Amino acid sequence: MMRTRPLKVALLGCGVVGSEVTRIMTTHADDLAARIGAPVELAGIAVRRPDKVREGVPAELITTDATALVKRGDIDVVIEVIGGIEPARTLITTAFEHGASVVSANKALVAADGAALHAAAEAKGADLYYEAAVAGAIPLVRPLRESLAGDKVNRVLGIVNGTTNFILDKMDSTGAGYSEALDEATALGYAEADPTADVEGFDAAAKAAILAGIAFHTRVTIDDVHREGLTEVTAADIASAKRMGCTVKLLAICERAADGASVTARVHPAMIPLTHPLASVREAYNAVFIEADAAGQLMFYGPGAGGSPTASAVLGDLVAVCRNKLSGTTGPGESAYTRLPVSPMGAVTTRYHISLDVADKPGVLAQVATIFAEHGVSIDTVRQQGKDGEASLVIVTHRAADAALSSTVVALRELDTVRGVASIMRVEGE
């Protein structure tokens, strides 16, 4: 039997995502009520610019006083889609203090302060859900913390930023340089006017922190994630990857150590074989590849951003939280019982693709090979090209620790015969 008294929802933010959340809540009200077991009523929408035209958004619901809205005693659920650290953090904790559960799309806040937010929610018997914080409409958070809760996840490898995937895809498919591909992404609306958060890997690093924490039942913050962007990726790197039967992707990689005693989380460009499922992820799409003991290999794919996809994830969380409200329960909170340390990047082992500019004369290859051997880095393949006294060496290593590769590069730069290190890129997915 359906409850007639509605559950009241406060919405913080009414931009692209918030407007779409409002539209779906209005046009699908009957369906949402049937799925939840009670009507849901949008009781207020907090915005910074009340005079902005928002088509389909009831003007009478608009307020600039977000604090007063979340303090209302009749609010059951607060949806936060304003982003950033403050005032979002204060508004969310205030909502908990006044009895509301929270649905958030705020990856930056959850990645930076998730433990404190979970503790605040638990102290008040409230829910904190944030499916929309990672990869838009793609279900990832709930499968990791619920569907795979009985399994042991060992690795999460994914493309979690659509802007960077679009740029790298265009570089691969058209031969364009980074700047040209970025210009196209901006013109099409995939890249912001200031694309720093995307192209420097901050967005993906926040998502990696969230995924690693859930997957490995330990606390991982954005400060624990090694981060490299794609601004240094060149058309020559893309061409080298093609010659190896690979493509280049900006990857978020979260791994449990082989001995199970630690975890790592990192974001950086990498070459992956064309045979890997992630290699076929094109345009601005996202995909995440999960490896678990019992489930084996799983892949989640779909649109990772945008108003409608993100709103879909928000509404999915809203339904779950409202159901919990009706039954007087809460969903899964933070699971950090393993307390595993996060190893530094220097301890991570992977393969490397290194391109060196060297003098074209006898003995250079032997000198370079000696440096690699002295630092414990084993060479898999070497390709050499030379002309007019200059040459290039393209070296692919076997798996080596990042720290060992770094010391190798320092030593290579001290050789008179090495003119420069043109590029270094990791090789993943093998």
Q: What CA–CA distance (Å, rounded) separates 299 from 80? A: 28
Q: Which two tokens stand for residue 169?
A: 């895809």
Question: How long is the chain?
Answer: 430
Phi first, then psi, for residue 330 (nearest 5°) are -130, 155
Sign of CA dihedral 261, 266, 270, 275: positive
**How does DSSP assign 105-158, residue by residue?**
--HHHHHHHHHHHHHHHHHTT--EE-GGGSSTTS--HHIIIIITTTS-EEEEEE
> What is the per-residue burial (b if ≥16 Cβ within 10 Å, else e) of 168-182?
bbbbbeeebbbeebb
Strand partners, 12: 46, 80
Residue 115's contacts (CB-CB under 8 Å, 6 or more residues apart) are 219, 334, 336
**Alpha carbon distance 183, 199 (integer Å):** 12
Q: How far is CA 93 from CA 71, 97, 127, 348, 401, in A?
A: 10, 6, 12, 36, 41
Query: Is 170 labeled as catalytic in the residue annotation?
Result: no
Q: Please give the single-letter amino acid code of residue 215.
A: A
Which residue in 8, 107, 207, 249 is the catalytic one?
A: 207
As given in the structure block, the two tokens for residue 242 are 């093609």
Element (H, E) at 45: strand 40-46
Please name which of 200, 191, 249, 246 lies closest in space to residue 226, comparing C-alpha atoms: 200
Catalytic residues: 207
